Chain A
Amino acid sequence: MTIDRRSFLKMTAGAGAAGVLYGCASTGPSGSTADVMPKTGRRVVVVGGGYGGTIAAKYIRMMDKNIEVVLVERNDHFVSCPFSNLYIGGLMKDLSPLTIRYDKLAANHGIKLLQAEVTGVDAASRTVVTSKGTLKYDHLVLSPGIDFRTEEVKGYDIATTPEVIPHAWKAGPQTVLLRKQLEAMPDGGNVVLSIPLAPFRCPPGPYERTSMIAMFLKQHKPKSKIIVLDANPDIVSKKGLFLKGWKKHYEGIVDYRPAKKVTEVDARSKTVLVEGLEDVRGAVVNLIPPQRAGQIAVAAGLVGADKNWCPVNPTTFESTIHKGIHVIGDACVAGAMPKSGYSANSEAKACATNIVNMMNGREIVDFSGINTCYSFLSAKEAVEVTGVYKVDKEKNTIIAVPGTVGVSPDLSELEAIYAESWLKNILIEMST
């Protein structure tokens, strides 16, 4: 028996379930209420198979084989955002070095996979609603990544605009589209890159993208340049290093313009409007819209007063709004930790550790985490920012351990060599 979403909502409301949280993703079928995997023992459901979700699922199973873990992900593979700028710049033939699948991870650790779209969460009855049916949980880990606040860019249509003006801020077909557009662009045309106000996924990402596109232009479209419209008053991350790299390699190619917030877009003419005043037109336009937590976290009522990001306990990553639901990765507010793949990896491990502790009646353990973001400035040179993070118990938030946060002293070939190994290690950690 399958019941459509609306009647499920009625039913549960009728049963007096307080706090039924509903959402439906913009695409995909409605959820059904048939239990796809009846719960027998202790279970954690993990939603999202990216940098956070895969690691949470794996580490829970590594630490306690008596907890059943179900990983729910709508795709059968994942493409890494980190390093996708290298593909855009032409340093990678295809996305295969950035792509992982879940079969080995599932087999090695006994994780159950459910390829389905999550359409809602009922915190009160600890139930996840998916396109394939419902799932009961004891603890839920959401690692949904980001979605876009497209309503803040006039004229942006979520379905059609990215087909013409890619954001390429979720890796996959969008990444490929941007690269194809760059290749097809006439020499002499301009690329326009629009950066939203922070916070957004991957603070140095837009500036690495600027570098990689500039590298491509220098080689293949020498008469072209890239105009960067940054909504922020200045470069958000690794400023000195990016400026140095642009001067060294891309003088006259990178036209960086701070405090230029794009408020409107016209896909047909490939034009963006800055603060409703200034038209900027490009042969290729890469508009990265402002962001918020992934749709499911919003639908589940997990975002805080800012309506964008999910406040969590800094030790367990449990939502401060709904008990039993933990939010990790880009979607959560992790104090001083930036929204990066490495942060998500680190948060996932701490979250997994403490879920296992909670489920076994053991002591909660303080968070200790690391962030690292490598960025490429040319084919052979990279820079990084790293830091160690812990919880400030008085302020009840994650802070950087003093003296640990810093950036590379200079552009470095050695860092590029380490960066390649970083990618390999972290993707293998997620997929085996």
Chain B
Amino acid sequence: MRIKAIQWALSAAVLAMSASAFSAPPTPAMLSNACAGCHGTHGESAGPSMPALAGQSKISIVESMKGFKSGERPSTVMGRLSKGYSDAEFEAMGEFFSRQKPFTTSQTLDRAKVAKGAELHEKNCARCHVENGKEIKDNSPVMAGQWVKYLEIQMADYHSGKRKMFDRKAERMKPLSQSDLDAIAHFYASVK
């Protein structure tokens, strides 16, 4: 019904009067494309500190956006931006980015840190960040191949207490030093 009305509306004469009167709500692509100026086309970020979203899990994106919106998760820009969208729109964008093919960053990493990080991951993180951070469990993000600079910023936020953790995570993370966390960041960034 609606589609028919729209098609009729699209006949040139009517269109000439007003297009927006008959328009549909923003599609997932319309919403998500606006994010790409910062996060890269389809979420394939080329900037070493800006997180890639391509291939990120839907639930992780939705949870991140909710956390930014409530202020629970610290941010520079995302807190304000997230307030522009509803939960349904978070879902739409999460779906959009999760369907993009995962983006493999090419970055220079410190081999010693990667090796140290691999050990620390195995001991402390592997139970939740399964498949070396490639797969997800619950709402944990895909971290494999993420930009190391971005992961380091996030680790620093955890370390300083700016970014909150649930108890089980805190138990594992609190004893680790900043350089341990940097090593773990290098490890996840290295996973292909």
- Using a CB–CB distance below 8 Å, which chain A residues touch chain B? 58-59, 313-316, 318, 323, 342, 345-346, 349-350, 353-354, 358, 361-370, 372, 384, 386-388, 390-391, 393, 396, 401, 403-406, 408, 412, 414-415, 417-418, 420-426, 428-429, 432
Verify A421–B26 contact, CB threshold 8 A.
Answer: no
Name the residue among A313, A406, A422, A425 with the largest chain B CB count within 10 angstroms: A425
Subset of 24 A-B contacts with CB under 8 Å = A315-B20, A345-B37, A353-B27, A353-B30, A354-B19, A358-B10, A363-B10, A364-B20, A366-B24, A368-B30, A386-B77, A391-B20, A393-B21, A396-B18, A404-B80, A406-B80, A417-B149, A417-B153, A420-B49, A422-B37, A422-B38, A423-B47, A425-B39, A426-B37
Verify B20–A396 contact, CB threshold 8 A.
Answer: yes
- Using a CB–CB distance below 8 Å, which chain B residues touch chain A? 3, 6-7, 10, 15-16, 18-27, 29-31, 33-41, 45-50, 76-77, 80-81, 83-85, 149, 153
Cα(A373)–Cα(B3), bound, Å: 38
- Contact partner of A361 among B7, B26, B37, B83, CB < 8 A? B7
Cα(A318)–Cα(B81), bound, Å: 27
Known A363-B23, A370-B37; further 13 A-B contacts with Cβ < 8 A:
A353-B29, A361-B10, A364-B20, A366-B25, A366-B26, A368-B26, A368-B30, A370-B81, A423-B47, A425-B46, A425-B50, A429-B36, A432-B41
Given the known inter-chain contacts A342-B37, A364-B19, please indicate yes or no for A388 contacting B84, CB distance below 8 A: yes
List, in ascending order, chain B residues with CB within 8 A of A364's CB.
6, 10, 19-20, 22-24
Verify B83–A388 contact, CB threshold 8 A.
Answer: yes
Tell me how far the C-beta of B60 lies from the nearest C-beta in chain A, rounded to whole angstroms.
20
Classify the interface of chain A: helix, strand, loop or mixed. mixed
Cα(A369)–Cα(B18), bound, Å: 20
Verify B34–A369 contact, CB threshold 8 A.
Answer: yes
Cα(A273)–Cα(B151), bound, Å: 53
Tell me how far the C-beta of B75 lies from the nearest C-beta in chain A, rounded to whole angstroms.
10
Verify B16–A323 contact, CB threshold 8 A.
Answer: yes
Cα(A362)–Cα(B76), bound, Å: 38
Cα(A76)–Cα(B29), bound, Å: 30
